[in-house]
């Protein structure tokens, strides 16, 4: 066994690191998709620690223990099984908590809880090795500075994404404030709202963006006065304008009223916001906090607006709890999902956690805001500081109101605008860096995860109104914590500019662009509904999102999702229809060639006399034969497999002869993107690992996209699939090699 301290490496450790460096690089290339030609553009992770003969314990006890080796690098923790191809790669940013138990006869237990809800339970034979690994993982998961995370160490592998001079990398220019407000129609309605550079260089509010939209009549004095009167200087500014009737959503932080303070400038600004709406309806001021919490804040010199000082406004409160309650609620909820031993315990813990109750409260507030705008009533929304509950509720309302935000790209814009742009504290809430004290540790809270859970609940009720699927939401959540991309680093827009993230890190959105098809919802109907009304708030409509919270638990999730099966089926039908159309075209060409040959034969006398013994095929002219030979020939038995497919079949050989098996043809077509495609495709239900013999990577969860090769019909991981030359087909590496030989 090899073991050493991360900070005091001995000679044996240094030798081990040198010997394993090449292996780690190869593993890293295979998982991260790095080509050997790009080695100069990539900073390989350094091996920090290694422990051999470690047992990985299945949490549910449904699988036997797996013996393997743990490699801890500067970027990932890697578990590699000794006897199988199983590999588990976890970015260091996803390490949540690490716990160890006392040494027993079986060994020393070590539990690693990850931020994406994976729980790894290890059994290590020696106590010292367990302690060293415990300390190493604890430090790797808690960098002291944000610039130490993996996003800053990576280098662009795609030459098309290399920065030009000092410009931003691809994906960082996705969101532009002026373009988004122009799309909403704000620019056209210049009589109501205007752009202001009041916050240029973050002069007045460092957690707001530089570009703000305020009522047309707002003076600089009003804005300055409102800044001084609002917590964190977060004055009321526009975030969404509802085109059909001109109603708007404005966001801000709580006022610093105490028991009697008031601000004339803030009152004037609120009055101008009310007047931007041509409707005579009063302005709604929505406080998302419980009334008790607001009263406590009032005793601290903060609080809420005094109804006597704000004319033509109606006040509404919603009992959405603070970050501390949500953090505790999620922990109890995860205990119910991951530790409950009986059905009774599960439901008791689920009820006591209150997680689904909090989800329902958020939806209720979002629905209220959306309905208000539909009825022509503008809303001003705030919580305490305006970057947690405010971001959640107004984002939900905009999803209900605007179909653009329910698209893949539009959802990215919504996150950029109301979460990243208006200063949701991702560093603090996601725990990107180590907490310097107990108060800092209490800043961690699953606010963004909770919002994504709400989106999932809405998707369940209206599955045909969202362009994206749940895989999209789950991967956004995972990457918000992983620190592999720069998109979710920093607490506000100013932080991201100071860190120069657009030039030093890769954008998550550019990575998502490369996997766009993975996130499509096959049931999406773009023009079905503009406003999502009739959202059911009955408690029975809110369920546990097991694809998120239990996705790593073997046996809990079905082995194939309805969406993935639908996508694969539609894709297969499309491939076969394209091939059928190609065959019809070739048959028509063959008939045309045959007709032309007969015409020429009737016009000129034959120079040969047929004895009558030759067959029609043998008497066929060369030109006709060449036309007919261009039509691809299929196997006489559609369910059979070619020798090549048989040689690359799964190690258990169960795909051969199955009704869900594959069919391959050895013939090629000159103008087809793929040689004659497989008639039968492998079922998603039978896919436990990549079919490529050189890979064999295990599909850990249903979330992992399994891609069919058009030529052999087998399922492969993304690393073993490539596009054809015309970018219209998809083949595995084995079939691509055969195509090249032919």
The catalytic residue positions are 383
Report whether 717 contacts 699 (CB < 8 A).
Answer: yes
Say if residue 322 carries a ligand binding annotation.
yes
Write down the H helix ranges in 72-167: 127-140
CB atoms within 10 A of CB 514: 12
323 is in an annotated binding site: yes
Give the list of residues 6+ apart from residue 569 with CB closer than 8 angstroms, or none: none
- Strands 283-287 and 379-382: what pairing? parallel
β 707-708/715-716 pair status: antiparallel
Q: At 150, list the tokens.
A: 């993996």
| 386 labeled binding residue | yes
Nearest to 180 by CA among 16, 15, 328, 402: 402
> What does the alpha-carbon distance between residue 315 and residue 529 come to, in Å, rounded to a whole number?
30
Which residue do the tokens 């506000």 mark? 492
Residue 387 annotated as lining a ligand binding site: yes
How far apart CA 417 and CA 493 sit, in angstroms, is 10
- Do the Cβ atoms of 677 and 711 come closer than 8 Å? yes
Phi first, then psi, for residue 710 (nearest 5°) are -65, -25
Ordered alpha helix ranges (H), 406-507: 408-415, 426-430, 438-441, 447-461, 470-482, 493-498, 501-504
- Count other C-beta atoms under 10 Å from residue 543's C-beta: 11
Beta bridge partners of residue 241, listed in sequence order: 248
Element (H, E) at 256: none
- 389 marked as part of a ligand binding site: yes
Q: Which of 568, 572, 566, 569 is nearest to 678 (CA)?
A: 572
| 347 and 217 Cβ atoms separated by less than 8 Å | no
Name the one residue in this structure whose structure tokens are 């653009």.
Answer: 404
Q: Give 426's contacts (C-beta < 8 A, 6+ positions apart).
A: 419, 420, 432, 448, 480, 488, 489, 490, 491
The C-alpha angle 461, 462, 464, rounded to 5 degrees, equals 145
Binding residue per annotation — 340? no
| Helix (H) or strand (E) segment spanning residue 29 | helix 11-32
Residues 6+ apart with CB under 8 A from 227: 204, 205, 233, 235
Strand-pair partners of 79: 70, 88
Phi and psi, residue 698, nearest 5°: -80, 135
Q: Give me the sign of the Cα torsion angle 582, 584, 588, 591.
A: positive
Tokens of 245: 């009737």
Which two structure tokens, joined as six digits, stand for 499? Answer: 């860190």
State both tokens at 661: 């098996």
385 is in an annotated binding site: yes
Instruction: Find residue 196's DSSP bridge partners.
Output: 212
Asked whether the beta carbons of 377 and 245 are under 8 A apart, the reply is no
Q: Are strands 95-100 and 108-114 parallel, antiparallel or unpaired?
A: antiparallel
User: Residue 131: which residues within 8 A CB-CB, separation 6 or more?
Assistant: 100
- The binding site comprises 322-323, 383-389
Annotated binding site for substrate: 322-323, 383-389
């Amino acid at each position: 066994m090899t073991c050493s301290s991360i900070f005091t490496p001995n000679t044996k450790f240094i030798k081990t690191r040198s010997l394993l460096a090449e292996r780690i690089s190869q593993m890293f290339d295979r998982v991260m998709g790095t080509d050997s030609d790009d080695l100069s553009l990539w900073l390989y992770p350094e091996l920090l620690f290694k422990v051999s003969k470690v047992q990985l314990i299945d949490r549910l006890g449904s699988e036997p223990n797996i013996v393997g080796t743990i490699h801890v690098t500067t970027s990932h923790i890697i578990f590699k099984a000794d006897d199988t191809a199983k590999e588990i790669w976890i970015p260091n940013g996803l390490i949540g908590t690490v716990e160890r138990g006392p040494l027993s006869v079986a060994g020393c237990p070590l539990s690693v809880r990850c931020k994406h809800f994976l729980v790894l339970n290890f059994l290590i034979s020696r106590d010292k090795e367990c302690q060293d690994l415990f300390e190493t993982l604890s430090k790797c998961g808690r960098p002291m500075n944000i610039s130490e995370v993996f996003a800053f160490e990576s280098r662009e592998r795609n030459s098309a994404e290399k920065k030009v001079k000092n410009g931003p990398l691809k994906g960082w220019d996705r969101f532009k404030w002026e373009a988004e407000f122009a799309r909403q129609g704000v620019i056209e309605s210049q009589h109501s709202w205007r752009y202001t550079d009041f916050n240029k260089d973050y002069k007045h509010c460092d957690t707001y963006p530089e570009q703000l939209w305020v009522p047309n009549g707002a003076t600089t004095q009003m804005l300055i006065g409102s800044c001084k009167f609002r917590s964190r200087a977060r004055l009321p500014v526009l975030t969404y304008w509802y085109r059909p009737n001109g109603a708007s959503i404005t966001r801000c932080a709580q006022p610093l009223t105490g028991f009697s303070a008031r601000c004339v400038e803030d009152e004037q600004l609120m009055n101008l916001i009310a007047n931007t709406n041509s409707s005579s309806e009063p302005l709604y001021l929505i406080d998302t906090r419980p009334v008790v919490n607001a009263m406590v804040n009032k005793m601290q010199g903060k609080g809420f607006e005094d109804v006597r000082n704000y004319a033509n406004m109606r006040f509404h409160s919603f009992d959405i709890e603070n970050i501390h309650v949500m953090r505790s609620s999620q922990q109890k909820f995860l205990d119910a999902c991951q530790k409950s031993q009986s059905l009774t315990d599960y439901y008791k813990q689920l009820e006591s956690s209150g997680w689904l109750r909090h989800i329902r409260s958020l939806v209720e507030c979002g629905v209220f805001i959306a309905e208000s705008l539909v009825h022509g009533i503008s809303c001003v929304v705030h919580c305490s500081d305006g970057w947690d509950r405010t971001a959640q509720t107004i984002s939900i309302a905009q999803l209900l109101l605007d179909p653009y935000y329910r698209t893949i790209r539009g959802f990215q814009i919504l996150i950029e605008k109301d979460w990243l742009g208006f200063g949701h504290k991702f560093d603090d809430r996601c725990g990107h860096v180590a907490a310097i004290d107990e108060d800092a540790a209490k800043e961690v809270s699953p606010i963004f995860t909770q919002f994504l859970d709400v989106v999932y609940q809405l998707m369940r009720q209206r599955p045909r109104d969202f362009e994206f699927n749940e895989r999209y939401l789950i991967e956004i959540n995972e990457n918000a914590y992983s620190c592999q991309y720069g998109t979710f680093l920093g607490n506000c827009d100013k932080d991201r500019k100071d860190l120069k993230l657009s030039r030093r890190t890769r954008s998550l959105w550019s990575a998502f662009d490369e996997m766009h098809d993975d996130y499509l919802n096959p049931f999406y109907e773009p023009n079905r509904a503009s406003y999502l009304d009739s959202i059911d708030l009955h408690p029975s409509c809110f369920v546990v999102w097991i694809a998120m919270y239990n996705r790593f638990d073997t046996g809990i999730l079905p082995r194939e999702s309805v969406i993935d099966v639908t996508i694969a089926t539609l894709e297969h039908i499309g491939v076969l229809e394209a091939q059928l159309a190609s065959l019809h075209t070739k048959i028509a060409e063959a008939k045309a060639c045959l007709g032309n040959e007969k015409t020429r034969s009737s016009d000129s006398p034959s120079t040969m006399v047929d004895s009558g013994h030759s067959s029609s095929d043998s008497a066929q002219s060369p030109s006709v034969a060449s036309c007919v030979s261009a039509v691809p020939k299929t196997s006489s038995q559609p369910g059979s497999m070619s020798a090549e497919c048989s040689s690359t079949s799964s190690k258990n050989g169960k795909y051969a002869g199955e009704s869900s098996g594959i069919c391959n043809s050895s013939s090629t077509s000159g103008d087809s993107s793929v040689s004659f495609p497989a008639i039968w495709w492998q079922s998603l239900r039978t896919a436990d690992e990549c079919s490529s013999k050189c890979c064999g990577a295990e599909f850990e969860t249903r979330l992992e996209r399994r891609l069919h090769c058009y030529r052999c019909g087998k399922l492969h991981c993304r690393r073993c699939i490539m596009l054809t030359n015309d970018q219209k087909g998809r083949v595995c590496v084995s079939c691509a090699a055969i195509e090249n030989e032919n």
